[in-house]
Amino acid sequence: MAHNKGKALIIGAGIAGVSSAYYLLQKGWQVEILEQNDLSNNCSYGNAGMIVPSHFTPLAAPGVVAQGIRWMFDSKSPFYVKPSLNSNLISWGLKFLKHSNQNHVNRSASAIRDLNLASSILYNEIAEKEEFNFELTQNGILMLYKTQKVAEEETELAHKAISLGLSVDILDQKGIQELEPNTRMDVIGGINYKCDGHMNPMKLMKQMISYLKNNGVVFHTHHKVTGFETSGSMIKAVIANGKKFTADHFVMTGGSFLPELAQKAGIKIQLMPGKGYSFMHTPENPSNTLNHAALLLEARVAVTPMNGQIRFGGTMELASHHDKINMKRVEGIVRSIPNYLPDFQMHPKQESEIWFGYRPCAPDGLPYLGQSSQLKNLIIAGGGGMMGLSLGPIFGKTVSELANDQKPTVEIKIFDPERFS
Ligand SMILES: Cc1cc2nc3c(=O)[nH]c(=O)nc-3n(C[C@H](O)[C@H](O)[C@H](O)COP(=O)(O)OP(=O)(O)OC[C@H]3O[C@@H](n4cnc5c(N)ncnc54)[C@H](O)[C@@H]3O)c2cc1C
């Protein structure tokens, strides 16, 4: 591809970084990526692979705080905030409380919907290229429930989704079972968000990296960015491994490490890592297949058919980065599965079978996407939280539009990366 736009340097090779590279490349930029690790793992690899226009409610929403406090006293619960005097957590928590209200939800819903819908269309376009085959399946996600209380809450939410123009079916047990004829569904009903889909994120990441390399993108692995050289309101270079890397435009991703990275450029970004776990399961009876991805709502467990197996994922532990696997919480996931899917007899898991990742969670539940006002040649793309994979392509396309001084396809004002600066 011809490089006629100048050089763009991207920090971080998660879905936000590689998608930015993909769209910058299409617009004729010469692209390099600095990644502190190798290219084998980060939050973008082992997640549940869901594309989620259904997730138009930000994490900061009414009721979340009360539910979160109840769960904090249960070691197997799906949500946990480690009580701590860490000033980042306190400041994050106060902002989260401030945004956990209906006004914030109403203000954000259509903006998040538009971002996810646009990204879903871009995933279809990427999947059409011959270099890609990442099991993209755009047949909906089932929100499954076992209790009347959750049925009522979810039905109300489904009506909100319909009023936002999303394609949604409200189903009873029979309707759900018809969609999944090969596996027993022990639920009282569910919502089929037909606007959603799923994929194999590991395949996507690997194929995206190969595609980028084959088209001239240079990856500098084991290069942690430790500093920025600026002149006035421009970045001149970033420092990694004691070397200077210059470019015309810089793109900062970094996932849950974004605050530390941004701070080195003098920008304040608030995020907490929301640790989650996943593991693969092979049904004992191979005829017990699933057609759709699903969320087991009371248990907060994600279920995704992937590569002939099923990936289960869940928990949200808000605490500083620490690589210890909390097997009690994994056990909480494992135990909840047969309550919904009795054909899946689960065995206790070994630590070696568990993947974990840190969701980059902003205190208002909204991503950070846009041009920095402090540094004119810096674009920030992060904070995707629970929908960071889903948002990848629209992050990338927006980054490329901003670098080219074009008006972004989607409205991004509400996602201003410096809104807490
Ligand atoms: C259990 C679980 C299930 C999930 N399921 C879904 C789902 O179904 N759908 C969905 O949309 N989302 C899901 N998510 C969330 C999603 O995985 C994340 O939001 C997304 O992967 C974040 O992508 P990212 O590119 O921003 O960050 P990452 O993938 O974490 O990548 C950031 C990269 O930046 C690098 N980096 C950081 N600092 C530096 C530095 N100073 N120098 C160089 N490199 C640096 C890191 O090493 C890393 O490789 C899930 C998450 C979890 C944990």
- Supply 27's token pair: 């617009």
Average pLDDT over residues 169-190: 98
> What letter does residue 407 receive in the DSSP assignment?
P
pLDDT of residue 69 exceeding 80, the answer is no
Q: Does 281 map to a domain? A: yes
Q: Does 253 map to a domain? A: no
Q: Does 249 map to a domain? A: no
Average pLDDT over residues 311-336: 94
What pLDDT shows up at residue 65? Answer: 73
To test the pocket of ligand 1, the residue of 252, 389, 398 to mutate (highest count of ligand atoms within 8 Å of its CB) is 389
What is the model's pTM? 0.97
Q: Does 294 map to a domain? A: yes
Instruction: Find out whether the beta carbon of 116 lies less than 6 Å from any atom of ligand 1.
Output: no
What pLDDT shows up at residue 327? Answer: 95
What pLDDT shows up at residue 3? Answer: 64
Instruction: Find out whether the beta carbon of 34 lies less than 6 Å from any atom of ligand 1.
Output: yes
Q: How many domains does the chain have?
A: 1
CA–CA separation, 174 and 207 (whole Å): 39
- Supply 374's token pair: 């402090």
Distance (angstroms) between ligand 1 centre and the Cα of 359 equals 6
Range of the domain at 353: 54-85+135-197+272-361
Instruction: Find out whether the beta carbon of 224 lies less than 6 Å from any atom of ligand 1.
Output: yes
Q: Report the DSSP pairing between strands 30-34 and 218-220.
A: parallel
Element (H, E) at 154: helix 148-163
- Comparing CA positions, the residue from 59, 44, 47 lying closest to residue 93 is 59
List 168's β-bridge partners, or say none.
193
Q: Does 315 map to a domain? A: yes
Q: Does 163 map to a domain? A: yes
Q: Report the DSSP pairing between strands 301-306 and 309-318.
A: antiparallel
Tell me the CB-side half-sphere exposure of residue 151, using CA atoms within 13 A. 11
Q: Does 124 map to a domain? A: no
- Supply 274's token pair: 């929301």
pLDDT of residue 206 exceeding 70, the answer is yes
Q: Does 74 map to a domain? A: yes
What is the domain-level CATH number for residue 175?
3.30.9.10
Instruction: Find out whether the beta carbon of 313 lies less than 6 Å from any atom of ligand 1.
Output: yes
Cα-only R_g, the chain: 21
What pLDDT shows up at residue 58? Answer: 87
What pLDDT shows up at residue 73? Answer: 66
Contact yes or no for 371/364 (Cβ under 8 A): no
pLDDT of residue 417 exceeding 70, the answer is yes
